[in-house]
Amino acid sequence: MQCLVAYMFQQLSSFKYNALLAATLVCLLSPTISANAGLLIDIAPNSTAPGTTGSLEVTLTNTGTDPLDEVIVAGFSFEITASGNDVTFSAVSTGTSLFPYIFGANSAFGPDILANLSTDKHTVSASDNYSTSSTGVTLTPGETVSLGLVSFALSSSAPAGLIPITFSAFAATGGSDPSGNDIVFGLSTTGGINVVTVPEPSTFVSMLLGAFGTSIVTFRRRNLAV
């Protein structure tokens, strides 16, 4: 579209050869980026206890509503960073379970699609392509797929609550279509790792004893009332 506007402008302003040549060069040299604001990358809901290992799925959703909003994805990459120091990433694979992996059995790099792991292991990136060139997977409006299963360890001192996960901007996070054109993903800012605390065994015992004691008192009061 930008190329077409440039060409029309040059046609209206001048019919000289050099003007047309300039417009053509703008079209050829400008990067082609597909404006797919309807593709949203996110973190699927998850929960992990402090001091344990866990995993999260990176998802991609076509939020379009019109049947014409189909998007063909031939490749992707993403980079995520965990807030704080309680999360250390270790691996990224195609072994997803909540949603089907985007390329299924046609992964070019799977099952291990980890691309880079930072020195502190708080940032990890992954990428993959459809195994057959010049083709890809069609995402229909409303469809959600997984872009990978990210493994991590959670420190024993991690507080209960959500640890935010941040996506790096394009081009660290984004995709491409079968023609090699870039696809810009919308980046969710609400995903993360949900840290849940598990009561100690002694706490369970205290809870059971408390419930048992309450039941006895209630039973005795009912008998006395009779």
- Report the C-alpha gap between 74 and 201 in whole angstroms: 50
Can you say whether the dihedral through the CA atoms of 84, 90, 91, 96 is positive or negative?
A: negative
Q: Residue 68 in 3-state DSSP?
A: helix
Are 194 and 99 in contact by the 8 Å Cβ rule? The answer is: no
Report the helix count and the strand count for the chain, using DSSP H and E.
Answer: 3, 16
Residue 22 phi, psi (nearest 5) = -65, -45
Give 136-160 pLDDT, tens digit per residue: 999 999 999 999 999 999 999 999 9
Q: What pLDDT does residue 223 have?
A: 57
Kindly state the tokens that stand for 123. 């940032």
23 residue type, one letter:
A
Q: What pLDDT does residue 175 have?
A: 98
Burial class (CB in 10 A: 0-12, 13-18, 19+), 178: middle
In the chain, where the domains are located? 1-30, 35-195, 200-226
Q: Is the model's pTM score more than 0.85?
A: no
CATH code: domain 35-195 is 2.60.40.680
Exposed e or buried b per residue across 113-143, where buried means at least 16 C-beta atoms within 10 angstroms of its C-beta: bbbebeeeebbbbbbbbbeeeeebbebebeb
- Closest by CA to 73, choosing from 48, 102, 44, is 102
Are 59 and 41 in contact by the 8 Å Cβ rule? The answer is: yes
- Closest by CA to 185, choosing from 108, 102, 107, 114, is 102
Please, which pLDDT band fits residue 198 given cuts at 50, 70 and 90?
A: confident
Are 195 and 52 in contact by the 8 Å Cβ rule? The answer is: no
4 residue type, one letter:
L
In this prediction, what percent of the chain has a pLDDT beyond 70? 71
- Report the C-alpha gap between 100 and 132 in whole angstroms: 19
